[in-house]
Structure 1
Amino acid sequence: MDDIVNLSIVGVLIALTAFFVASEFAIVKVRSSRIDQLVAEGSKKAMVAKKVTSRLDEYLSACQLGITVTSLGLGWIGKPAVKELLVRGFGLTNIPDSVISLISATLAFSIITFLHVVVGELAPKTLAIQKAEKMTLWLSGPLHAFYILMFPFIYVLNGSARVLTKMMGIDMGSEKEHSHSEEELKILLSESLKNGEINPSEYNYMNKIFDFDNRIAREIMVPRREICAIPEDMPLDEILSIMTQEKYTRFPVFSGDKDHVIGMLNKKQLFADLVYQGEKDQLKIQDYIYPVIEVIDTIPIQELLVKMQRDRMHMAILTDEYGGTSGLVTTEDILEEIVGDIRDEFDEDEQPVIQKRADHHYVLDGKVRLEEVQDLIEMSYHDEEIDTIGGLILNENIDIREGQSIYLDDIRMKVLEMDGRYVKKIDLKKGVTSTDKGNTRTGLDIKEPLLVNEMTLSEK
């Protein structure tokens, strides 16, 4: 009867060891954000789990206390109990008593150690790591009860540990909630994508949000030369003609030139009143001009978006450091930085700013940012004053014309289309050889007429 009781105690002690080990690893492994979500959904188990995970130092001490006590109990009761059974079994043989005692002690130690390590620690540890959320919800209640029961001992042990660490010159400070850096969050998102927790679209949106905070308005603006603006003294018929031809909703209005924007016109409101009133002579353009936001072109786009939301405006005029108009930004331009291009029924003829022709061969809009080009191909070029690929070309050769090329190592940038000095379209190809370049000393493209202003960037 005593043997059964002792073995039962051994089983209970191993089970308790497994409980404390599983609790320890589960509450460390579980995501606090997931527990918060379950609490918001009203889960009672999650509410207890939140208490446990928010005070890890104290509850881990409870786990350690439990593991230590059960381990001592196994050593005190388990080994003698198993040894006694083995001695009785070997006593039926003709083995000398001294040998039986040695063999029984060795086997008893081995059996208890195996059960303690495998059943009491390794198996529950693996289970807790693999099923951290479920194990935390299941075990937090009993662990909380044990913590309350053993609170005086845990308090003394934790206090003693703090005194010891202070004597060693280590100030534990107050316990702070662990937070993740931006790079850590990107890694977590990558893992979630691999495991199917989020889809590729969600992953791309989140990555673009991280980049969103690093963008300034100048990088996404419609340049001054591309702004379709209306002089304040333009006759109504001409204004209606422009609005009919250009498929925009809002048009900046300027006085004198584009450096003096005084407001904007909303085509919808103007056309609606024209339809209802029917008399163009009764309409005064000045009555339809609304204020417009004016900001410096280096403003971060997240700040600009907040300002546009606060002022309830969909358009902002950007000015440069000298007070002149450098471009404009709409809410659509800002949103496209997160969700990608937004096309409507009037954008059928609009070409993508990046068109892939082959591997390492693209046709680019001159407004494409250098960061985007560097994401497409390996390109080494750094100039804090240059934002776009078109700006790079003009910076290297201000006199370049259509059909001419410049080279950066094995990258050819050929101008396909220009508007005055503005580079509109570029043929970009990586991996060109010296034969493709023609005269390697000057970088002339022999497929085009010889142009003395063509050169390799590395020689400039």
Structure 2
Amino acid sequence: MELTLTTLALLIPPFLLIEGFFSGSEIALLSADKLTLKARAGQGSQRAKLALELANHPERILSSTLLMTSLCVISISSLISLYVHKIGSRHADLIAIAITSPLVVLLGELIPKTIYQKYATKLAPWVAPAVQSIFWIFYPVTRILSGYTSRLSRLLGPIEELLTGKRQGMREEIRQLLSYSRKESEIKSSERKMIKRIFDFKDTEAKHALIPLIKVEAIAEASTIAEALERFKSHRHSRMPVFSGRIDNIVGVLEISDLFLAADTTQTIRAHITPAHYVAETQSLEDLLQEMRIEESEMVVVVDEYGGAVGVLTFEDIVEEIVGEISDEHDTDVNTHKQMGENSWLVQAKMEILQINEDLKLELPEGEYETLGGFLLQQFGRIPELADDLYFNTPAGSLKFTVRKASDRQIELVLIELTPSPSRDDRDGHEATPKD
């Protein structure tokens, strides 16, 4: 077939459309909201299920789309180059590049990606079958490309972040600003604490926010409605997890509102139990919050790798990870610390380090813990006993911590005594070394 301008005009648009389709498909599958796809997959959508599977294997997406877009770009470039050489131009190669580049970059890449990214979650289920088909049709080639993509990901970071332009480094920059502002007193401790929680939220796993089983008020599956109502009355909860046999075998959740209309309170609660919503202890709170919103769950059961329950999480517990403790109509207002002398305080071990530093000006260091109890457990290296004490230096002065109340599982009350530094104005903000 003779390569004329008409032939060129007929052949190039299909290649541009194919290139644009796969360029857009790449960004749509990588940018789509996984929780929405998961919800649609749960409702029976096979397309959404396939899109979710691909989104969890970005190397498959990239290998398939890279192969197809490359073939299209090569085809377009070859056609234009052949035509320009045919007409005998002196600068054929330069002219071919000048024509090809705007076509493949603008029409084949930028415009499709902009459109597909805007409607990523809607389009992802529809483009997934084509991307999956290419992956298997050209499997030997796509398998090799997937291997290179995986290696690139290990070197440069997650593929979806590289291709969608997400900047994870921004968080570290803001954390550094928070650290600087702490020294300069530009941001209040409470404000800094909330900002820190917001930026830590995405990386916080369920196991770090759950209510452990030891503190969970649960009810046995074999309990009667009358017994359940009495438990609700005495513990002042609106819902409780239900266990079968052992406390770590939580089978559901019981709402007090479901028992009000029960005609026979001698019957067991089994008919009123809502099946438990199980989540992995390693699931991020950000994903879990969206999942609970979509599933309309008020309480979830957190399980470990063996399937045993390790605790529960409510919507309120997750929100508290950002805004701090929320008091509801059933909470009692208990002071977390009490002034005992000019420079001594009786402090509950659950009081947060940031709050201690704000209220008592003790300048305790921040670390892989949130509460005074966590700080002391790290310093002692064990669960301390009653009357155990510890000395620790901070820029505020020398601190003596004495355990005033503890169980065999946790610290409850601590007496803190401060011997101020000779000059409390001369502070460099560095952590001191604890005394033996």
TM-score range, shorter chain: 0.3 to 0.5
Bigger RCO of structures 1 and 2 (CA < 8 A, at least 6 apart)? 2
> TM-score, structure 1 length as denominator?
0.44
- For normalisation by structure 2, the TM-score amounts to 0.46
